[in-house]
Structure 1
């Protein structure tokens, strides 16, 4: 029996050595979680034996338990490198249609040839669908997650339908009502500003807005006429649509414009599409009118007339040309934001995070990955930085949580334990040899 006890001690010491050696070997493995060999004594007796004199039957390895404490962060220059600070795992699948989820803390992700985010083994990072404008997810159920793709272009161009313009016109400007408006004659208007707009094919055009003061007679309010010219199209006679006149703007004695209504300049789609007017020469067609709104998009900024120089405080439009991808950013919630060269930005997905009731119950499958098991509990999906889920750090990797100093001390301890059990085995052998030599 003493032989068996010593042998079980040797086996336990060997298991401890193996576990420690594996921890040391993976000290630089991204997302690796150290393991700890846990042991229990072996004790067996019957109801008819005396428990007071029972010694025990040795030791057995109860489990090799992984320790999921946080590893330190290593910051990188790759925006697709991800690390979780706190609880949670990334979810990956081996192919696009698979629901065979594997879970990992190793966030060294990159793009494959089809622009999907994958890990080093080509497994697809899973994400939830989100609203492209707000980034809000529609569901955090794992069954709704899908591989995250990064499109290289912003898609089809979007024609301009609204221009938002807010400005201050100079109250000290002189009237120009005595002269007919002519965009080629600076004496016939007081101020002008331009903005780039886009047609249905994504081609850019310059839209120039002109302002001229026509009435300051007291007590009547100050009156300004507005005009637009498309692509400096001033060579054609007015009958052919070389410029379009908009609503007049009226200001009170305090310099605030008088409403209602809010003035605008409307460029009818039929006018823009008519080839005789020469606005569009590339085959593009506007589906809706183009409107120059004298306010900002939210309606909080409106034109003013103060004794100050002409100043544009808001000028924007809602069209885009085709754009190429210029950057990808991922915030602490896991929302993936793509920015494009045409000024567009769009939320693409939200990185899926998964947690378990018992992380030590997960089944290890290698490559710093785990799968669900009976003892781990069901996977629960969610988003980063909410509830019990940790925050996602972009351009960072979670290093191994192995403490090399501690492991070297454990290695020495395991070695001494092995030597002691070897000595016990040797003593048992000597005692048996002594008995066999009795004559």
Structure 2
């Protein structure tokens, strides 16, 4: 009977693998998406007192589903508030209601009616506080990126630009411009420990460690590009090969169950 359970484990594992691959393929065009892969480990049935020469396995189990944070291609958009990181790190956004901070590689930033720099879900982009010239006041903490709709002289906002070093400048109708902050980049000791929560966002966990905020291009923080977005790092050709492999694995385990059924039926027939 162990043959049935061994093959059943194989079917479940292949189904999990197929699900992960399907998720990757479905997000091949999702901005900032990072693909995943299924890792397996074998299962042994004998205890420590058993003869190691007689040890047999009872199949495999899913040991982990690893995220691949390799860089996706950068696509030029020409929009000043489309941001991309060429290297490690994440943009940080804060939910104004729950005060929770999430992390993303999707740098599609918007300005709401109050002047807040937000992602598509309304979470506020985190920046370092600067003076009006763009000099960072402190990197000990981050603040919400807010663009004043009018400046001190009463001139209306004309546009927002982000420099390569991450400084966000607000330009006004009277020809003046002021820095409102410098984009903060979050790095983690173990990015694979981040928890994916959908919408190309991640949460920090005990496995990932706490975020370490840096200036763009400093230390492990990637270089910032304005007017570009990072595409998904899914390679469709690679995923299709993996899909075929997972399908063959599923079929092989199903065949093993069929063979075990035939053997059992033969033994039953012998007794009759």
Whether the TM-score (by the shorter chain) exceeds 0.5 is yes
- Greater helix content: 2
* RMSD of aligned alpha carbons: 1.3
The Cα of 1:146 is off from its aligned counterpart by 1.7
Cα distance in 1 for partners of 2:31, 2:17 equals 23
1:137 aligns with 2:132: no
Q: Per the alignment, in what secondary structure is the counterpart of residue 136 of structure 2?
A: coil
Q: TM-score, normalised by structure 2?
A: 0.96
1:251 paired residue number: none
Q: Per the alignment, in what secondary structure is the counterpart of residue 42 of structure 1?
A: strand
Cα distance in 1 for partners of 2:21, 2:50 equals 39
Cα distance in 2 for partners of 1:382, 1:40 equals 37
Cα distance in 2 for partners of 1:407, 1:67 equals 13
Cα distance in 2 for partners of 1:55, 1:46 equals 11
CA contact (8 A) 1:116 1:148 kept: yes
CA contact (8 A) 1:333 1:386 kept: no
1:146 paired residue number: 143
1:237-276 residue pairs with structure 2 within 5 A?
none
Instruction: Spell out, residue by residue over 1:236-279, the C-alpha distance to the aligned partner (whole angstroms, 9 max, x if none).
Output: xxxxxxxxxxxxxxxxxxxxxxxxxxxxxxxxxxxxxxxxxxxx
The Cα of 1:325 is off from its aligned counterpart by 2.1
Q: 2:251 aligns with which of 419, 433, 436?
A: 419
2:107 paired residue number: 107
Q: Per the alignment, in what secondary structure is the counterpart of residue 126 of structure 1?
A: strand
Cα distance in 1 for partners of 2:263, 2:12 equals 22
Structure 1 unaligned residues grouped into runs of 5+:
157-321
Instruction: Spell out, residue by residue over 1:176-207, the C-alpha distance to the aligned partner (whole angstroms, 9 max, x if none).
Output: xxxxxxxxxxxxxxxxxxxxxxxxxxxxxxxx
Q: Per the alignment, in what secondary structure is the counterpart of residue 418 of structure 1?
A: helix
1:367 paired residue number: 199
2:155 paired residue number: 323
Q: Per the alignment, in what secondary structure is the counterpart of residue 237 of structure 2?
A: helix
Q: Per the alignment, in what secondary structure is the counterpart of residue 29 of structure 1?
A: coil
CA contact (8 A) 1:327 1:339 kept: yes
2:189 paired residue number: 357
Q: Per the alignment, in what secondary structure is the counterpart of residue 79 of structure 1?
A: coil
Instruction: Spell out, residue by residue over 1:367-405, the C-alpha distance to the aligned partner (whole angstroms, 9 max, x if none).
Output: 111111111012101110112210111111111000000
Cα distance in 1 for partners of 2:180, 2:121 equals 23
1:326-337 residue pairs with structure 2 within 5 A?
326-337=158-169
CA contact (8 A) 2:29 2:231 kept: yes
Cα distance in 1 for partners of 2:77, 2:227 equals 5
Larger Rg: 1
Divergent runs of 4+, >4 A: none
1:268-417 residue pairs with structure 2 within 5 A?
322-417=154-249
Instruction: Spell out, residue by residue over 1:385-435, the C-alpha distance to the aligned partner (whole angstroms, 9 max, x if none).
Output: 112210111111111000000001110111011000100010001100111
The Cα of 1:152 is off from its aligned counterpart by 2.4
Instruction: Spell out, residue by residue over 1:142-164, the C-alpha distance to the aligned partner (whole angstroms, 9 max, x if none).
Output: xx3121111222223xxxxxxxx
Q: Per the alignment, in what secondary structure is the counterpart of residue 354 of structure 1?
A: strand
The Cα of 1:359 is off from its aligned counterpart by 0.2
Q: TM-score, normalised by structure 1?
A: 0.60
Number of residues of Structure 1 aligned to a counterpart in Structure 2: 270
2:55 paired residue number: 54
Cα distance in 1 for partners of 2:197, 2:116 equals 23
